[in-house]
Chain A
Amino acid sequence: MKNFEFLFTAWMVVWAVFFVYELSVARRITQTREEIERLKQQLQQR
């Protein structure tokens, strides 16, 4: 296949970008959920 490197790189870029972004969002969701739990507990200690 001619120019395979370019095709492959493009293919990888598409999925890599989406994947990395999704990972970052998912990680932050977990972090924020934990933070909310912590804050709720703090609130209950009033």
Chain B
Amino acid sequence: MQALALAILLFPAAGAVFLGVFNWRGSRLLTAFVGPGVVWAAFVCVLILLAGGVNQDFTYWTWIRSGSFSVPFDILIDHLSLFMCLVITGVGGLIVTYAVGYMEHETDGSYARFFCYMDVFVLSMLILVLAGNTIFLIVGWAGVGLSSYLLIGFYYWRRSAVVAARKAFVMNVIGDVGMILGAFVLFVSYKQVVYGPLFGALPKSDGGAVELAAFLLLVGGIAKSAQLPLHTWLPDAMEGPTPVSALIHAATMVTAGVYLVARFHVLYDAATYAHAAVAVIGAVTALFAASIALVQTDIKRVLAYSTMSQIGYMFLAVGIGAYSAGLFHLLSHAFFKALLFMAAGNVIHALHDDQDMRHYGGLWNDMRRSSVTFLVGSLSLAGIIPFVGFFSKENVLGEAFSRGDALGYSVWLIGFLTAVLTGFYTGRMWWISFWRPAAPERPVAGHLHEAPAVMLIPVAILAVLTTIGGALQVKAVGGWALVDDFLRPVLGEEHITAVALEYVATLLTLVLAALAFAAAYNFWIRGSWNVDAWRARLAGAARVLEHKYYFDELYDRAFVRPLDRLARLADREDRSVIDTGVVDVGTYTERSASSLSLTQTGFLRSYVLVFVAGAVIAAGLVLWRAQG
């Protein structure tokens, strides 16, 4: 079992090394097998560990030893890390398999490079969730940032991709700094890095060190999970190929913040203010992102903002202490968001990489299979019964509602509004892209090629999971909660009995979200409500939303441009002061050398004369000394 736990990490690592080192010129078929194969192998390892009921912290060797400070290399297998591993390797495996078809137009070198990066991504994320101590956690944390940088900048010949990759990296490094400082505060205060003893040493009551550590870790969490105010990298990350978007948004990366709060739940339970901050940031981000998604025209950007919004729900849940509700939404979101991205990827693939929804239309008739799966994902995202999104979202909102305090009611209200907005923008995306008759601008006017089986089957599997996944957790009267029960050994939560009012709230949310979804039909298909008139009426709000609340502009003014000016100034000073100094040294050396070289006359006999004169003087000196 100990070897098996390590094998979860070794499979993707071996795959990445193989593809990176040995397979640049190797066969395409081999790449297509190894790339997804190692992720599936890791998935099998996780299943065996799960079946074996393993629940243990495996320590392999001492990793760092310096005086009394020592860090073991340990892998923590418990229900939380296994849960995360199932999502990462299961959904991740489907996505990497899908990429075999999606990336088929790449050259052989790029093809191998892509799967190498994907395996590194999965590996980093697995390290992040399996790490048994804070130091190892930071390794995974930074590895995820690195691999996202590599994948977002995959088309490195496109300037926009490089800029987006750099932006993601910088934002993530801000978070990494927070993480490292947080781990440092925990170590300085409690002298522990391994989770078990560390959580044991944490005080149960609030305190300065606890709050500080919780806030610093939260900085790492919000950067990785694209929450306010470190969210601006996520929409730009759409520059990467679509399977990358699916992997970042569904199985890995953005869920890291949610995992972090759940893993450190002992810390957050103690730190009252930091814990409330998690909920507030999550709720505000959920509403914020959903409102921006209303006006986006790029289909992947709509999905990106919906991811931010759904991660906001998860933050909201873990912020109010409903950890397993947050993790259930994480699971459900992994299903339907991977599904949405991959179904959208089929469409983008068929329409020659056009991502503008206004150029779509007519897809219901031309790409029926992709359309049906996209509809399943959309309804789940909108929180319509019976799809998994309904159950997980209601789980989150229900927990918030039944908390019964000011924080609970306020985040519920925000979550409720977000759910309505989600119904609306999801409906807009669906009706415009798929249901509407084909737009005149559509790149491919006639018959569209439906995606090949290797791309359709993963989407179909996810569509099935999205449809039946809600059965995991039906918290009505006489219901059950398999996810809660599974995670209880780690999180130690009690069931909160639903209050009667909660059913009313749930029903209200469902009905309004469904109405919003339907309202979008009236706007964009039937035209009974005039979109342009409404837009003109709300011109001010629309402009703010189209500029994404001016966050990019603000960061540009506040950070990018001043730094740019500083860099230019430094460049000028470098040229005028340092460069000139260095050049002067060279000039003077050269000048003195050329005057010295005049002594080299080229006349052999003059050299001999100098030599003989020198010898005579030296001999004279010796004799003179001998006499004296």
Partners in one complex: no
B residues in contact (CB < 8 Å) with A? none
A residues in contact (CB < 8 Å) with B? none
